[in-house]
Amino acid sequence: MRRLHLVLLSLFITVTSFADDGLSLGAMSQNMLVPMNFLRTSLNAMSIILGFYFFYVAIIRYSRYRSNPQEQPISNVIMCFCIALAFWGLSVIYHYAYLSAVYYGMQDVVSNS
């Protein structure tokens, strides 16, 4: 866990070290958006993958429930399915939020002029 914190800290330190002294605060914040974009797309991909994983677990648990209902309660199946829907919903909400930001022109907050 400690190594993860060090890796994340070093990621943000290296990003700020690439900033020039002559840049304005807006240009420096624009340079900071690159790792945030990577983090955002990574979290979106992880939510889709975790959604598929929990859906697969729900199918496996349902097959175990069908063979022996006392071993595997149906509440575990429903919970895994709800978690899968939550992860997929998170990625869909992100997708529609990104589309609305592009449609309404909120993507270019910092101008390059």
The sign of the torsion formed by the CA atoms of 86, 88, 91, 96 equals negative
The residue ranges of every structural domain in the chain are: 2-16+28-103
- The crossing angle, in degrees rounded to 10, of helices 25-67 and 2-17 is 150
Q: Are 72 and 64 in contact (CB under 8 A)?
A: yes
Look at residue 24 and tell me whether its pLDDT is greater than 80. Answer: no
With 0-12 / 13-18 / 19 or more C-beta atoms within 10 angstroms meaning exposed / middle / buried, residue 81 is: middle
Burial letters 14-27, b for 16+ CB under 10 A, else e? ebeeeeeeeeeeee
Q: Which two tokens stand for residue 62?
A: 């349902």
Residue 84's CB is within 10 A of a number of other CB atoms, namely 20
Over the stretch 53-70, which tens digit does the pLDDT of each residue have?
999 999 999 999 999 988
Instruction: Give pTM, 2 decimals.
Output: 0.63
Q: What is the pLDDT of residue 43?
A: 86
Q: What is the pLDDT of residue 78?
A: 95
Q: How confident is the model at residue 2 (pLDDT cuts 50, 70, 90)?
A: low
SS3 of 93, please?
A: helix
DSSP 110: S
